[in-house]
Amino acid sequence: MMNDMFDALNRKVPREGVRTNRKNIGVLRNALQFLDSWESELRKGEITKEMFLTRSTSEGLRVTLSSTIALCEYLLSSCGFRYVLTSKMNQDPIECFFGTVRRSGCQNDHPTMPTFLQVYHLLSVYKLIRPPKFGNCQLTERRKSRALRWRTSKNN
């Protein structure tokens, strides 16, 4: 059952995507019911605390399962999606961005809001004036200065 649950949460190719007529949503519902009954056994004293997940893990899994089911059903029924690739439902790009901001803050792993905003603006300007690594185009000095002037005037 756990293997099927992880498979349903990690669909990567269209032919395996979550569809209305496939078993993936049922697998996720069964996993949610299993989690509920397992937690019920803990509350009744039938199993010990060590035999169950930590509270944060069980809450996180419950939120993941519930939100994945709800989002898949919404996309399939209301938005006309033919399939949903559940492996795309993650926060990796956001974590990557915040990791970049943290690394840019030198010695400060936990930047304050003003520091975060300053680094965000610097990264935004850098992306505008940085020449491309690959391709058949070059960024001239004139364009670099125009992009920089546009960015700084926009913030004032």
Tell me the per-residue pLDDT of 44-72, one tens digit each, with 9 for 90 and over.
999 999 999 999 999 999 999 999 999 99
Q: Which residue has the tokens 């670099």?
A: 144
Domain boundary among 36, 64, 88: 88
Domain boundary among 66, 88, 110: 88
In this predicted structure, the answer to whether residue 156 has a pLDDT above a threshold of 60 is no
| 80, 98: one domain | no
CB-based contacts of 77, cutoff 8 Å, min separation 6: 20
Separation of alpha carbons 60 and 11, rounded Å: 19
Total domains in the chain come to 2
The pTM of the whole model exceeds 0.75: no
Tell me the per-residue pLDDT of 95-142, one tens digit each, with 9 for 90 and over.
888 888 888 766 667 778 888 888 888 888 877 777 666 666 665 665
| 34, 73: one domain | yes
The better pLDDT of the pair 144, 9 is held by 9
| 67, 22: one domain | yes
Domain boundary among 64, 88, 112: 88
Q: How confident is the model at residue 143 (pLDDT cuts 50, 70, 90)?
A: low
Please compute the mean of the pLDDT values over residues 77-88 and round it to a whole number: 94
Separation of alpha carbons 137 and 140, rounded Å: 10
Please compute the mean of the pLDDT values over residues 21-37 and round it to a whole number: 94
| 65, 120: one domain | no
Domain that holds residue 143: 92-155
DSSP 62-78: HHHHHHHHHHHHHHHHT
The better pLDDT of the pair 29, 93 is held by 29
